[in-house]
Amino acid sequence: MFGFTCTPRSKLRFTFRGTEASIFDLMGPDTGRMVVRVDGREMGIREQVDRWAYYQRLAAVRLASGLPEGTHTVEVELLAEPPGRTVAIEAAKRLGRYDPKAFEGVGLRFGFIRLVGELVERGR
């Protein structure tokens, strides 16, 4: 599974049988915030920003853990409001690697779903 979106409110949805789910992705200057829902219940907002977020690199986002054994539906939705990127921007400027266009917009670049369990269905 590979996917990219820069359209707020875009969603990734999948169903699995098991107890834990994460997504491996690329984290970078335009990585957006995402709201995570499991079985229709909001599990919070995830942000991937640190002082190295001025370039694209592999990362992982834990979506759910400690779930009761069974079938679960996970939904990840890209939010329109970007995360605070000040730390990454300052680091990029110190290193002479700041490109303001790289920090524009919001996007998500998904690679693989990691499960403690098995995939039942992958939606859009």
Contact 41, 35 (CB under 8 A): no
The neighbour count for residue 16, using CB atoms within 10 Å, is 23
Rounded (5°) CA angle 71-73-74: 135
Domain coordinates in residue numbering, the chain: 3-122
Distance CA 81, CA 104 (A): 11
Q: How many CB atoms lie within 10 A of CB 74?
A: 23
Q: What are the pLDDT tens digits along the chain (124 aa)?
A: 578 999 999 999 999 999 999 999 999 999 999 999 999 999 999 999 999 999 999 999 999 999 999 999 999 999 999 999 999 999 999 999 999 999 999 999 999 999 999 999 877 5
Other residues' Cβ atoms within 10 Å of the Cβ of residue 32: 22
Identify the pLDDT of residue 1: 57
Pick the CATH number of 3-122 from 3.40.50.300, 3.90.1150.10, 2.60.120.260, 4.10.320.10: 2.60.120.260
Predicted pLDDT of residue 3:
86
What 43-48 contacts at long range (C-beta under 8 Å, 24+ apart), as own/partner pairs, is 45/79, 47/83, 48/83
Dihedral angle at the C-alpha atoms of 84, 11, 61, 81, nearest 10 degrees? 0
What pLDDT is recorded for position 94? 97
**pLDDT score at 80:** 97
